Structure formats: C-alpha cells, structure tokens
Amino acid sequence: MRVDYAPLPFAPHGCTFERRADGSLLITPGYTLPELWPSIPHLFIDRAARFPGRTLVARRELLPDGSRGAWRRLSFGEALGQSRALTQALIDRGIGPEASVMVLSGGAPAHLVVNLAAQMARAPYAPLSVNYSLAGGDFARLRHCADICRPRLVYADDWRTFLPAMRALGEEHDLILVTDEAAPGGETLALGDLLATVPTSAVDASIAAITPDTHAKTIFTSGSTGKPKGVIQTQRILTGIVAQHEAMYDAHDGENEAKAYLSWVPWSHVGGNNTLPADIYNEAACLYIDDGRPLPGQFAETIRNLREIALHEYNSTPIFFSELVTAMEADASLRDHFFAKLRFLSYASAGLSEDLFRRLQDLAVAATGKRIPIITKYGTTETQGATIASWPLERTGPIGLPFAGNVLKLAPVGDKFEIRIKGLTVTPGYLGNPEASAAAFDEEGFYRTGDAARLVDPERPELGLEFDGRVTENFKLLSGTWVHVGALRMALLDALDPLLQDAVIAGEGRMDVRALAWMRLADARKIAASDGEAAELAEHPAIITHVARRLARYNASAGGQSRRVAALRLLVAPAAGDEIADKGYINQREVLRRREADVAALYRGEAIVPAAD
C-alpha cells in the first residue's frame, strides 16, 4: 500500500538567519512579495467584474423549527451591487472614516455585504463575538468594546435575538440599529431598505480615497488575560495577507475551477474574518458557512455539510479535528468523501495532539492509500499569520518559518525565547489605548507575542521553529521549579491517548503538578464498553484503571518534578462561557479561576491518582 504524500503547491521559504550577540535570532523569509492591491474593495470589485455569476458565499436557510434547509447563495455580482448600495446608504448617514460599523451576529451573506460596504465607505468595521451579545446581564464586554470603537451603526441579523444587546448599547451611544427585518415599533431599520439605496458617484469617490493606511477593521482580542483590546487593521494588512499567500504558492489552480471552502470559525476572529475571505476574493472561490460547531450535540450539521461539499483543503482547530476523527472512524463513507479531493489539512489556534495526528493519517491511508499532508500556521490577532509550516509535518509541535513580508525575532526571555514579529501584517497598535500599544512592541518595533519557540534543530535552522508554550502562562512550584505548561499539557494528552479531549495544568505555588481534564465521550465509551454519560464514565472502573496505568507509565519516564503529573481529576461539566474561546481552544487561566472547587478537590486527593510505581 502506498503511504507517500501528495505534492504540496508551496514554494520553499528560503529564509536567512542572523544570530546576534545578545542571544536573539532574526529570521527573514526569502519569498518575493507580489504588488499589493490598493485595498480589499479594489480586489473584490475586480473579481466581481471577472466572475459575476460565481457564488461568493452560501449559508443554509434557517427554517421555522430552528433547523437548516437548502443553501442560499449570494454571487460575486449580487454582492457587489448590494455592497455599493449599502455604501451609499452609509455615506448618506454620515458614516465614514470617523464613525465605525459594529456587527453583533455571526457569519452570513448579509454580514459579508455589511463588511464590504463599511470598507468601501472607509468606516472601520468591528465584528464582535456573538457571545458578548447573548451573555445578558449588563453586557459588560459588549459595552467595553463599543466604548473603544465608538460605533455609529450597529448591525445584527435577527432583532429577536439581538435587540436586548442593541438596547444596552443605545443607552450610552447615539446609534443607528439595523437588522435583517425591522423590529416592531421602529427600533431597528430593515437592512433591505438600506440595500434599496441607489449608488451615486460618491461611492466611487470613497473607494478611490482608500489608502493602504486606511483603518479597515477593528478585531478584538479574546480577553483571556484581561479586557478585550481593539486591534487596528489597515488595508495594507488585509491586502498583505493576500500577497503573502500569493508569494507562498508555487502552483495555482486554474481560474476556470471555482474552489470551495467550508468554515465554522467565528468572524470575530482573524481566521474567519481575514484569512479565509482574502483567499476567497483572490481565488474567486465560494465560502460555505458551516452552522455546526465542534461541541456536543452541534457537530451533526458539520457532518451533513462535509458529506455534500468536496474540499481541496481544510483548515480548522484541533478541537474540530477531535470531533471529525471520531465521526470518520465510525463512518467510512464520510471518511472517503472528505479525503476524495483533499490536498492537505491545516490546523491552527492550538496544538494538535500526536494521537489526533496519527488517527488523521490512518484515516487518510484507509481512504486514499496515502497519507495526507498536514501543515500548520501560527499567528495572533495582532500579527495575522506569523509563521507557516508549509511542508508535510511528521509530528506535531513545529510551527514553521515566517510568512513573506514579516521578520521574526526569537528574543531571550528568562529560559525561553519569545516570538516577536515586525512587518507587513503587524498591527500599528490598539485602538484608543496608547499605553498598551507602546508596551506591546520592543525597542526595535517588534510585536511581543508572549509566546515562546525554539529551533527544531539549532544546527539546521531551515527546519523551522517549534512552539514552546506561553512565556506568561508558565508558573513555579513551591520549590521554585518552573513548570512549562504548554509542553506538559501536550505530553499529558499524548500519554493518555485516546481518552482525553483537553486538559488544564494546575500547581502554581503548590508542591506538585496536577491536572483537570475532559474525556472524549466516544473513546471513553469504547474503553469502558459502556454507553454511559460523562458522570458515570468518570467513575467507571475501566476508565480509572486506564488513567492510572497510563499516568504511572508517563511519570516513570517524565523526568523531574515539574514534568510529572501527581494526580488527575476528570471533569464532567463541559467547558462553558469564557472557559472556551470562540475558536474552540481552552482558556487555561479562566478554567482554573472558575473551577476553584475542582482544583481544591484535586489537591484533597479526590482524583484519579497514579500508582506509586
């Protein structure tokens, strides 16, 4: 059986490496950047003129019972007409460079039109996490974000869902509220009425006035370490993303074949809002919006979509691949359809466990007779894509080398090397927060990511970097020994493969390291030979034996105190709220803060404890 990789369409990085006397390392990519587009609206208008009939975006129609029906499609030509009309409506209401447009709801064709129109009107566009508007209470995070970007117009798709949040914002700001259907009593305008506006030459004049430094978007950080900060994104950053991908690709598909992308990733984050749409505009491809989520009870919609859409490439988060692997292992037809045309897989936002990596490759071989190239990207809200491993990975951990247009610096911080980035796609700063902006950059203008990396092989730097955890999330035990959280978490997941879905490391200021963890229910049920729910499985003798044996085996070869896990407690209640980011990764600090009772129980011995040997 053939198990070789299919070729990837990427050119080699060709990086240069400069080692400095202070111990830092500068890495400069060798890609040649193509000429940047003047703006994303200019790129989109070009594609709409060349491919007016192609589908730009599609989403399944929401049915009265809450389920999803057939795909509703919006073509490039239709989107151009609607965005020009809405741009005129914004201009007529004085919404432009000094007044932003805020969006509360998630990905949808109408949302994409609002995005494009705001950019054409030069009104900074600010998409917020849907969770901020559904949290209720005093809507503290929503109000905080509105205070930063000072919106003049706020859009959401459904007034029934979002009107309480809109009212909360209206208490402090003079706002124009827009929903797909007007709310009773005239509290919101109907989007359709604005789309009926007749464009004038003012639209063309506004587009012509866009410069590379025009403030295009404000994307908010997750707020995992404090209140969300508004990251300024200029048109240069957005067109730079397009140019980076152009520079990297060594071969392109013909323009006669329209590519398809399927994505559930929230549009309030850079992955869903910048990178994927940039690829779509550049390739005149179709974005299928996936209303499924990699969460219990919400993944069936994703499986339905994957059965219909033939993908050439797929990028998602590790938590998504965890759900997908389980589904494909139980359904060969889903597996075979998923891999039929797939050229490569890409993961981002968190580390992929070796278990998932192996299982994905096993599924690919079963479906096609060869392994699937798996690559990865690393980046932040402030930098966009910082690095990419554009070659087939043989294991998880490496994060590659810098994208074109950016320079990466590994700067010594304590016993680690912090990743710092300067260049084309790095933010100029945080909106309305000059103090945070100044603190975010070092004396040479490099953005401090707070993440650490090391060379895969110091003697062969062309092999790229390996992620080495957060500089700030690591902690000391009572003995003063440092615990490197990221590396330990991945080692624990691999040691207990395939049981654990995710884990959180505890122990700051204590005598030893312990962990809280969630099970993959499908794998737990196989181990226990039971169809029980999480609470029952967490106490099942077969699960306890599995964890105790695997943990004892891991500890026997782990090394020192900071790498051993003295005890583990299985969590029954799934991660919720701020414990889990929109993109699906676990917020370590928030879990420990919210689950103080579980941590206390863990250190009282109410946990699965490995055998002494």
* 152 contacts 175 by C-beta, under 8 angstroms: yes
* 225 contacts 439 by C-beta, under 8 angstroms: no
- pLDDT tens digits, residue range 548-557? 999 999 999 8
CA 207 remoteness from chain centre: 29
Q: Mean pLDDT throughout 114-142?
A: 93
Domain spanning 76-210, CATH architecture? 3-Layer(aba) Sandwich (3.40)
Distance CA 611, CA 339 (A): 42
- Contacts by 331-339 with C-beta closer than 8 Å and gap 24+? 331/303, 332/366, 332/367, 333/307, 334/303, 334/306, 334/307, 335/363, 335/366, 335/367, 336/367, 337/306, 337/307, 337/310, 338/306, 338/311, 338/367, 339/363, 339/364, 339/367, 339/368, 339/372
Total residue length of the chain: 613
* 27 contacts 378 by C-beta, under 8 angstroms: no
Q: Does residue 224 sit in helix, strand or coil?
A: coil
- pLDDT tens digits, residue range 515-559? 999 998 989 999 999 999 999 999 999 999 999 999 999 999 888
pLDDT at 39 exceeding the cut of 90: yes
What are the angstrom distances between the C-alpha of 557 and each of 36, 491, 499, 547, 561?
52, 11, 20, 16, 11
Distance CA 121, CA 78 (A): 18
More confident residue, 128 or 581: 128
Distance CA 335, CA 325 (A): 9
Q: Can you spell out the DSSP letters for 375-394?
A: EEEEEETTTEEEEEE-S--S
Residue-range domain boundaries for the chain: 16-36+248-470, 76-210, 475-604
Distance CA 325, CA 328 (A): 5
Tell me the average pLDDT of the chain: 90
Indicate the CATH number for domain 16-36+248-470: 3.40.50.12780
Give percent of the chain with pLDDT exceeding 70: 96
pLDDT at 1: 43
pLDDT at 613: 45
pLDDT at 562: 87
Strands 344-347 and 374-380: parallel
What are the angstrom distances between the C-alpha of 71 and each of 27, 57, 62, 374?
45, 10, 10, 29
Q: Same CATH fold, 76-210 and 16-36+248-470? A: yes
- pLDDT tens digits, residue range 143-161? 999 999 999 999 999 999 9
Structure tokens at 522: 């499908």
Pick the CATH number of 475-604 from 3.40.50.300, 3.30.300.30, 3.80.30.20, 3.20.20.80: 3.30.300.30
Distance CA 322, CA 439 (A): 37
Question: Given the structure tokens 């006669």, which residue do they identify?
Answer: 256
Distance CA 150, CA 144 (A): 10
- Band (610; pLDDT cuts 50, 70, 90): low
More confident residue, 606 or 338: 338
Amino acid at 367: A
What is the DSSP code (8-state) at residue 314? Answer: E
pLDDT at 234 exceeding the cut of 80: yes
Beta strands in 403-513 (DSSP E): 406-413, 416-423, 447-455, 465-470, 475-476, 482-483, 500-506
pLDDT at 43 exceeding the cut of 90: yes
Q: Which of 463, 499, 510, 506 is nearest to 485 (CA)?
A: 506
* 39 contacts 242 by C-beta, under 8 angstroms: no
- pLDDT tens digits, residue range 192-230? 999 999 999 999 999 999 999 999 999 998 765 568 999
- pLDDT tens digits, residue range 398-454? 999 999 999 999 999 877 899 999 999 999 999 999 999 999 999 999 999 988 999
Distance CA 140, CA 550 (A): 43
Q: Which residues contact 50 (CB under 8 A, 6 or more apart)?
A: 284
pLDDT at 253: 54
* 160 contacts 134 by C-beta, under 8 angstroms: no
pLDDT at 244: 92
